[in-house]
Structures are given as structure tokens and as C-alpha cells.
Amino acid sequence: MIYQFKVQLLGFRPPIWRRLQVESNMTFLDFHQVLQLAFEWEDYHLHTYRMTKSNGKSIEPLEIGPEDEYGLFSPSYDEAEIVLADFFKKEKDRAVYTYDFGDDWNHEIILEKVLAPEKGVAYPFCVKAMREAPEEDSRGMYVDDVSPEETMTTDDLTDYVNEALASFYLEQNKPDFDWTRLLLAAKEFNKLAPWTIVEGDDIYIITDPLTKDQVFCSVLGNAHELYGLAIYIGKEGFESLLQILNQGAESAFELSQKQRAVLVSFVNRNELEKADYELIKEADVSFRGKNQWPEFRSYQPGFFPWMIDHEEARLLLLALEQLPYLVEDIKKQHPRLEETAQGAWLARIPKENSQGEIRWTSEYVTSSIFNWDVTSEEEYPSYLSELEIKRLSKYKQDQGTVEFDFFPVNMPIQEQEGERPYFPNLSVAIDQDSGMVLFQEMQAGGNRVQQCQQAFLKFLQNRNAVPNKIFVSETIYEMLLPLKFLYASNLIESEELSSVEEFKRMLEQMQK
């Protein structure tokens, strides 16, 4: 059966709510993931459910939540073992879902209807979404309980939520991934040696027939140092690829923190990690020789390079199987591909015929096929409350000249065994004349823009004044620009922060 819930984020005017349809046999844990997607939370914090009405009767609040390995939290029921139908039995049964015990985002969940599954509908499904939810960690911005300013229509927001829920559906319904097929495709790709045919700075595009996202491919090996293929997925991947191609004097670590990529590289047997070798051994695919063994890695800003997940593996397989067709076209100088206009890329495009079959074509494409607007620049929001910005504007100006920066530190932290390590972020303010460190603060991984803005606020609070000149990098300038405080013009975008660079070199020496 299908349950239709109305889920309302309590305490806001006008109300913020979602009407959601989910399968009745869904676990409370999976429903937690649905709620995270529906309200655009990022699952940074703890959560719990409190059941208040079940089987048509009010009950003493009953807690359903995650089991805690340390024994600090003891819910009545483990959310991974209990399904919705165990407690939601009649219409108007209800519970409260609380997310983030600091901000206390309370969501009232009411069972509105019990329905039969509708043919052609993928569940979970959002029937209607009213108003956008606040940002993570922003309770202080909503002391008056007024809902955030609307940036989307109800229809657009509903479509946006359903796009997010589609990822949950695909994750829940995907078949087991064929790692043997990926290893064999990697082996054939290495045998093709495309780095002897294409240029290292060329970009090739594969359009994913499932999501319609673009996968941007860069062949490695022209420099004869590292052989393989890197794929960059969607808008985030494309922008990170452009940054890599236009790199300045960044260190290898700094470059890695700009990448949103999936990489297969061909290395020697003794360079493989244990997990890499076990994957190959289990698939029973043989490799021999120098630079023949595939190593798969996921690169994501803020995180340590890690083993790839199923979705990343699926997209990498797509690229490994389709890119050789483009390489063959280049080798043959196929007539259809002899000429290209500036700003076009060679691509593999899937086209569906009337029978629903996919046929692939090789053609040149422009950015018009991207599913985002390449001409629009991302504008960061302000995560500070109006009160905090007003306080900033009350500080007096002094004659100081300061460099301020915010960057990841190469000190990976793994909070739990088997969990992907993250790199903490460090904010630092340095007096340009004396080189003295005026402020520094380490923060765990999270929303970088929010952390940067809050660190900048803390620096000015500690100083109790605004320096006459505050030199920042282009990236930090864009993060701080939305604050719009009285002396915002004191922020100066600079290509070189010599004091900060000296501080980073000192950090690197300490880490050796």
C-alpha cells in the first residue's frame, strides 16, 4: 500500500510543508532519508521520531531512532528494523520527526490517506511542496519564525523535490553492480592506449542516458607519468575540470581539493591498496605487467580520495565503454568529425528510437546540450542573521592591513572505521606588515561558505574593528560578498596572499 503523508516544518509562517507518498513497508530509516531530501537537509546532525498517535489513538510519546553504538541514545525502537505500517495504521495517525538537536527542526507527520499504488508512479513521490525550508544550522536567522524568502514557484519546488527523490528511487532499485564488467572495460581501455592518440587537455563528453547529465572525460598519460581516465560529472565536475586545466601554482593537495572526479589509473601491482587487489581477485580478472593494474578513486572537495561507489562506477563504466568509439573516429578521421566550431566538444549522444532502444551517435556539441546555464554565475547566500550583519556594521575601522583565508588542511580525519575521512577547514587572518597570526580556527567538514562567513564574523568580533584593507582570494571574496556590511568595500580581491602562503608552507613543514 501507499501512504500519503503531510509533513510540516513547525514554527514557521506562512507554513512550510510537503505532501509525500511512500510505500507503507518503508523503514523509518529510509523515511528519514526521504525527509532529508524533501526538505533539502544535508544529514549532518542527529534525528529521532516521536510517535504520538497510532491506530487512531493518542499514545504516550514513543521514540523511534537510530541505535547508538556508544549507548548514549536509547530509542524504544530501532528505525532500521521498524516499518511505517507498524505504527501508522489509520488515517490521522501522527508523529514528530526532529532533526538537529541544536536547532530543533520539528516536522509534524500526519497520515492523510492510504492508497493503492498507481501504475507508472515511482515512489517516493512528492504531490506538492510548499515553500523552501531554511538552510542547515540557520536557526538564529529565524527568531521571528518568518519563512525564508521564496525563490521558486510551488510547481518548480515540487519538481525539484521529485528530482531529489528520484535519486533515492534509483538507489533503492538499482541492480547489483557488475564489477567484472568494469574491470574488463578498464583492461580494454588500457590496451587501446588512447593517450597515444588524443591530447591531454582535450575534453570529451558522454551523455548519461539515465539522468541526461553530461560526463566530461579527460584522458591521462600524455606526460608519461600517470595513465588512465578521469571523468567529471555534471556542472560541479565540469567547473572543477576547468579549474584543473587552468591551474596556477597550487600544490597537489590544493588541486585535489578542487576536483569532483572519478579516476581510473593504471599502476603497478605493488601500488594497489588491499581493497583494490581484493576487488580484482574477487572478480577473477587477470592483470600482468607494469602500469596494467586498474585503481579506482573518487575525488570530492573536502574529502580524502576514496573507493568509488556504485553510481560512480556506473558512470565510469559508461565512459570506458563509449569513449573508445570517439578515439576510433579520431584515428580514422571520420568525415563527419573533420571540422568543428570553436567551443564545441566531441561527444557520444544516446538517442532513443520508437521501440525504446538506445542508439549512440558521435557528434560535435556545444554547451547548449548542458542541463544548466553556463552563462549564469553562482551567487552564494548570506548565512549570517540580519542582527549579526548589523553588529558588523557598528565596528569602527582601523588602519590595519590583513590577509584573510579559509582553506582545507591536509590532516584527514576519520571519525568511524570504514567511513570516508574528511579534511578540516582552517580560517586564518594575518597582519600583512608584521606577519603575525591574528586569528585562526579549525572547523570540521561541512558547509564551506557558511563556515567561512562565520569565521570572518568571529575574527572581526575578536578584533572589535574592521581593518582598512582585507586582502582575500577570488573564492573567499565571492563567499564574503553577500554579507553587505558597512565596510564591505574594505574587502580586496587579490591574486597573491604572500603572508597566507608563507603560513601554509609552515603548516606543510609541520606535517612532514
Closest CA to 33 of 69, 79, 1: 79
Q: How far apart are CA 17 and CA 9, in angstroms?
A: 6
pLDDT value, residue 95: 97
Contact status, residue 217 vs residue 199, Cβ threshold 8 Å? no
Look up the CATH number of domain 386-511. 3.30.420
Contact status, residue 345 vs residue 364, Cβ threshold 8 Å? yes
Q: How many CA atoms lie within 13 A of 217 on its CB side?
A: 29
Place of cell 597515444: 196
pLDDT value, residue 336: 47
Distance of CA 352 to the CA centre of its chain: 30
Evaluate whether 2-173 and 386-511 have a shared fold.
no
Q: How far apart are CA 420 and CA 431, in angstroms?
A: 36
Helix segments in 380-497, DSSP class H: 386-394, 448-463, 474-480
Q: Which CATH architecture has domain 2-173?
A: Roll (3.10)
Q: How far apart are CA 121 and CA 23, in angstroms?
A: 12
**In sequence order, which residues have a C-beta less than 8 Å from that of residue 376 and are 6 or more positions away?**
none
**In sequence order, which residues have a C-beta less than 8 Å from that of residue 141 and are 6 or more positions away?**
134, 135, 383, 384, 385, 386
Query: C-alpha angle 275/278/280, rounded to 5°?
Result: 115
Beta pairing partners, 146: 13
Query: C-alpha angle 341/344/347, rounded to 5°?
Result: 130
Q: How far apart are CA 146 and CA 51, in angstroms?
A: 27
Region class of 224: left (phi > 0), else alpha (psi between -120 and 50), else beta? left
**In sequence order, which residues have a C-beta less than 8 Å from that of residue 436 and are 6 or more positions away?**
430
Place of cell 585503481: 295
Q: Which three cell numbers mark 85?
A: 505500517
Question: Residue length, the chain?
Answer: 512
Q: β-pairing, 469-472 with 465-466?
A: unpaired
What one-character-per-residue DSSP string does 99-154 give?
E-TTT-EEEEEEEEEEEPPPTTPPSSEEEEEESPPPPTT-GGGGTT-BPPPP-S-H
Secondary structure letter of residue 416 according to DSSP: S
pLDDT value, residue 335: 44
pLDDT digit string (tens) for the chain, length 512 residues: 999 999 999 999 999 999 999 999 999 999 999 999 999 999 989 999 999 999 999 999 999 999 765 556 678 899 999 999 999 999 999 999 999 998 999 999 999 999 999 988 889 999 999 999 999 988 888 877 788 888 889 999 999 999 899 878 776 666 678 999 999 999 999 999 999 988 877 899 999 998 888 999 999 987 777 899 999 988 888 888 887 777 666 677 877 788 889 999 999 999 999 999 999 999 989 999 999 999 999 999 889 999 999 889 999 999 999 999 999 888 876 544 444 445 688 899 999 887 778 999 998 888 888 877 766 666 788 888 888 888 888 889 999 999 999 999 988 988 777 888 999 999 999 999 999 999 999 988 778 899 999 999 999 999 999 999 999 998 899 999 888 877 888 999 998 999 999 999 888 887 66
Q: How far apart are CA 303 and CA 413, in angstroms?
A: 9
Q: How far apart are CA 178 and CA 314, in angstroms?
A: 9
Q: β-pairing, 401-408 with 469-472?
A: parallel
Q: How far apart are CA 114 and CA 90, in angstroms?
A: 8
**In sequence order, which residues have a C-beta less than 8 Å from that of residue 417 and are 6 or more positions away?**
none
Q: How far apart are CA 334 and CA 354, in angstroms?
A: 28
- Residue spans of the domains in the chain: they are 2-173, 179-369, 386-511
User: Is the Cα dihedral 155, 160, 164, 170 positive or negative?
Assistant: positive
